[in-house]
Amino acid sequence: MVLNTLHQQNIIHRDIKPSNIIKRECDNQFVLIDFGAVKQLDTNSQFPEQPTQTKIITSEYLPLEQWAGKLSFNSDIYALGITAAQFLTGSHRSEFKRDDKDRLVLTEAIALAIC
């Protein structure tokens, strides 16, 4: 919900990872923290991906396009997906299988975690 609200405001978090998601004690809700790396996109731009010079240090949660300096809302979605897969499986991202094009294959790991 927070991520959707940020994206509706044309803001990208850019540093979603397990240590930036905490469980709030008062209501047991998971919340996103650490907004120090947020970036607001230019709403007047005709390009959905915008270049950025800032590299965020937590590289294992970055999609390739963010490494290339192209920023989009999909960058946050990718990082949230990797984080969710880690929460579901209990495995670190480095332990996930890869296909022949070096892409992460998460379906088997998540299916095993759910069953």
pLDDT computed for residue 77 by the predictor: 93
15 is catalytic: yes
pLDDT computed for residue 52 by the predictor: 55
Query: Any bridge partners for residue 70, and if so which?
Result: 51
Q: For residues 22-61, b (16+ Cβ closer than 10 Å) or e, as one string?
A: eeeeeeeeeebeeeebeeebeeeeeeebeebeeebeeeeb
pLDDT computed for residue 99 by the predictor: 82
pLDDT computed for residue 5 by the predictor: 94
Domains of the chain: 2-39+56-114 (1.10.510.10)
Averaged pLDDT in 10-residue chunks for the chain of 115 residues: 92 93 95 92 63 60 82 91 90 84 74 70
